[in-house]
Copies of this chain bind each other. A is one copy, B any other.
Amino acid sequence: MKTIYLDNNATTQVAPEVLEEMMPYFHESYGNPSSAHTFGGQVGRNIREARESAAEFLGVDPEEILFTSCGSESDNAAIRSAIESNPDKRHIVTSRVEHPAVKSFCEHLTHNGYRVTEIPVDKDGNLDMAAYKESLTPDTAIVSIMWGNNETGVIFPVEQLAALAGDRGILFHSDGVQVAGKIPINMKNSPVDMLSLTGHKLHAPKGVGMLYIRKGVPFAPFIIGGHQEMGRRGGTENTAGIIGLGKACQLALANMEDENTRVKGLRDKLEREILSRVPKTYVNGGRSERIPNTSNISFEFVEGEAILLQMDAYGICASSGSACTSGSLQPSHVLRAMGVPFTMAHGSIRFSLSIYNTAEEIDFVVETMPPIIEKLRALSPFWEEKPKSCGADKMPF
């Protein structure tokens, strides 16, 4: 059975061009980039080239790029650095819809004497700007607010948020993991101080990420050890991963137009067709500015995990909530923050496309989804030909 992979916000396949670029660094050019000999030194030069590609991708200088092991490390490192660099400040501002790498880390810090303000969002997933402005205080060490939401694709006005923080002398970090390669990003002259990205959402391998740190922003290393990464991260460099990420950055620039025209067109068609064929379906965040590959659709009165299981039988891969929080019986914290009723939040499916998806795949999904939902609704105690009114307090889950 062919796999139709519509779960690219969870992770992506490594691009063939990326893999080809990485291959020599496992078994041939395997030297340590810190070594004095030519065999290792050449690898050091190749890492510098990858850093240049990553910098070009963001419109910044190579020395503003720190390679890490993943987006979560980048997020943790940015926030920890900000609070270490501002030892007298005890307040952090974030949003209610962050990825666990920011959300859980901030929660952890509340046990260490920090106050955390989580800015709410409205039913369309947009940030409460008045609450945001009010939250910024002289005690605020850092704002960490994501650029694009992993579950809904809703884009926050990060440049504007960062400028407001910057005006008050507050560091601004953004988790840009989901926007990289999907919307144009140029950090040159941007007020954003730090930006987290990860390779595996960008057709580079898992196990490599990066953190942009604007020149002049103080940075306290997260992993402390050797002199690697200009003294900003100890540990032998993940050379193959870094080389792969450099190539992926080049490809992402080249594929940006396809992402925003053809891929967006496929996403829009998927959404349009499902909404027209399946009653009682809603697009979460659908009225907001979104990244072009993501659609979060709620199928009322059915359970997301049950939908996924049925889709799986057809080889269609997607997510219910965020893959990173699977295993939890709670509906997604993002949809709860948007006030999506439990009946809908529990039946939400995130479709996330990539440049490798085809029109034929989307046609197949569009044909397959309606009978799946119909079948599941026939089993639901809350669904009749005309659905019963049902409050969240009456939900069985």
Known contacts being A71-B235, A235-B72, is A10 close to B35, with CB within 8 Å?
yes
- Of residues 281 through 312 on chain A, the ones whose CB sits less than 8 Å from some CB of chain B are 305, 308-309, 311-312
| Complex CA distance for A111 and B390, rounded to whole angstroms | 58
Do A105 and B241 touch across chains, with their CB atoms under 8 A apart? no
Q: How big is chain A's contact interface, by range?
A: 35 or more
Do B205 and A26 touch across chains, with their CB atoms under 8 A apart? yes
Would you call A12 an interface residue if the criterion is a C-beta within 8 Å of the partner chain's C-beta atoms?
yes
- A-B contact sample (9 more), CB < 8 A, given A70-B236, A104-B224: A13-B26, A35-B326, A37-B312, A37-B317, A69-B70, A72-B235, A101-B226, A105-B234, A206-B236
Oligomeric state, in copies: 2
| A92 CB to nearest chain B CB (Å) | 13
Would you call A323 an interface residue if the criterion is a C-beta within 8 Å of the partner chain's C-beta atoms?
yes
| Complex CA distance for A108 and B234, rounded to whole angstroms | 13
- Of residues 102 through 140 on chain A, the ones whose CB sits less than 8 Å from some CB of chain B are 104-105, 108
Do B326 and A200 touch across chains, with their CB atoms under 8 A apart? no
| Complex CA distance for A13 and B28, rounded to whole angstroms | 7
- Of residues 313 through 361 on chain A, the ones whose CB sits less than 8 Å from some CB of chain B are 315-320, 323-328
Would you call A193 an interface residue if the criterion is a C-beta within 8 Å of the partner chain's C-beta atoms?
no
| Complex CA distance for A61 and B238, rounded to whole angstroms | 27
| Complex CA distance for A309 and B208, rounded to whole angstroms | 32
Nearest residue (CB) in B for A69 is B69
Would you call A59 an interface residue if the criterion is a C-beta within 8 Å of the partner chain's C-beta atoms?
no
Q: Which of B34, B236, B319 contacts A35 (CB under 8 A)?
A: B319
Do A235 and B36 touch across chains, with their CB atoms under 8 A apart? no
Q: Which of B10, B70, B76, B234 contacts A34 (CB under 8 A)?
A: B10
| A6 CB to nearest chain B CB (Å) | 10
* Chain B contacts for A26, CB-based, 8 A: 13-14, 19, 22, 205
* Chain B contacts for A316, CB-based, 8 A: 37
| A175 CB to nearest chain B CB (Å) | 10
